[in-house]
Homo-oligomer: A and B are copies of this chain.
Amino acid sequence: MVLEIHTQVGSTVPLYRQIVDQVRLAVSTGNLAPGDQLPSVRALAEQLVINPNTVAKAYATLTQEGVVEAYPGKGLFVAQRRQTLSNEERGRRLESALHTFLSEILFLDFTKAEILDLLEQRLDAVDAPAAAQDVK
């Protein structure tokens, strides 16, 4: 398993946030299993050609959230107990993200169908690789 992190250049989302989101996603899709070790701060920083402080901040956030656990001297590992958010919290986050999304695209005058189609397409693209890996 290789953790693939892609950073989006034009985005307003800070780099460390992008890393956090992608690690969380990898954990929730199973690409990263409990006990898996994450690349070191220096290694990931080198791979992404970014400041090590940025990676450190992302890792600190993930640790605080309980997604990963640090074993001092050994490294960072995906937490054994899968983090479960309350349904209220999950709903709140979805609503919040949706609100931001809508405020950014509504004035672009896309049709409802165009938006829904593109979203469905992207959702399929995300699920597909995960499903393929399950077969392995």
Chain B contacts for A87, CB-based, 8 A: 86
Contact B85 A85 (CB under 8 A): yes
Known pairs A85-B85, A85-B86; A105 contacts B115 (CB<8 A): no
A97 to B8, CA, bound (A): 11
Interface size on A, residues (CB 8 A): 63
Contact B100 A101 (CB under 8 A): yes
A106 within 8 A of B: yes
Chain B contacts for A58, CB-based, 8 A: none
A51 to B98, CA, bound (A): 26
Chain B contacts for A2, CB-based, 8 A: none
Contact A101 B97 (CB under 8 A): yes
Chain B contacts for A78, CB-based, 8 A: none
A10 to B93, CA, bound (A): 10
Contact B64 A103 (CB under 8 A): no
Contact A106 B11 (CB under 8 A): no
Q: Which of B15, B24, B110 contacts A103 (CB 8 A)?
A: B24
Render A75-118 as a binary contact track against B, CB cut-off 8 A, 1 for contact.
00000001111111110111111111111111111101001101
